[in-house]
Amino acid sequence: EVQLVESGGGLVQPGRSMKLSCAASGFTFNNYDMAWVCQAPKKGLEWVATISYDGSSTYYRDSVKGRFTISRDNAKSTLYLQMDSLRSEDTATYYCARMGYTTDYYYLDGTYYYYYFDYWGQGVMVTVSS
């Protein structure tokens, strides 16, 4: 059974840092891209960041670029999100998600991968407030 368990959330002051962890089990962690998705109170879901299966590629939404860093330790089957220079608008529940994918072949460009979130953790709350 796929399990994703987040930890590391809590209350933090604006401008400070926090590191989230996500312990994965029930699947071969180093075969899958992984992601963080967040949901602010009473707001919708927002994709935050994605990391490739081997950690070689990372992607971020614009609002967290330069402040957040997604990383992984495949030996420990653990995903991380280092959040620096936190702002009140970063207050949200953060979800760890495994990424599934579909592929399409384009004659001139080759194979493209399209990723969705096939398993989610229960989430961890991060509150940025003084």
Partner 1 sequence: DVQMTQSLSYLAASPGESVSISCKASKSISNYLAWYQQKPGEAYKLLIYSGSTLQSGTPSRFSGSGSGTDFTLTIRSLEPEDFGLYYCQQYYEKPYTFGAGTKLELK
Applying CB under 8 A, the residues found at the interface with partner 1 are: 4, 44-47, 50, 59, 61-62, 95, 97, 100, 102, 114-123
Task: Select 14 or 67, whichever has its Cβ closest to partner 1.
Answer: 67
Task: Select 46 or 84, whichever has its Cβ closest to partner 1.
Answer: 46
DSSP 118: E
Closest CA to 55 of 67, 66, 65, 70: 70
Least Å distance between CB 75 and partner 1? 25
CA angle in degrees (0–180, nearest 5) for 125-121-79: 85
Least Å distance between CB 65 and partner 1? 11
Backbone angles phi, psi at 29, to 5 degrees: -55, -45
Structure-block tokens of residue 122: 């229960």
Least Å distance between CB 117 and partner 1? 7
Give Rg (Cα) of the chain: 15
Least Å distance between CB 58 and partner 1? 12
CB 81 within 8 A of CB 73: no
Task: Select 17 or 122, whichever has its Cβ closest to partner 1.
Answer: 122
Task: Select 13 or 104, whichever has its Cβ closest to partner 1.
Answer: 104
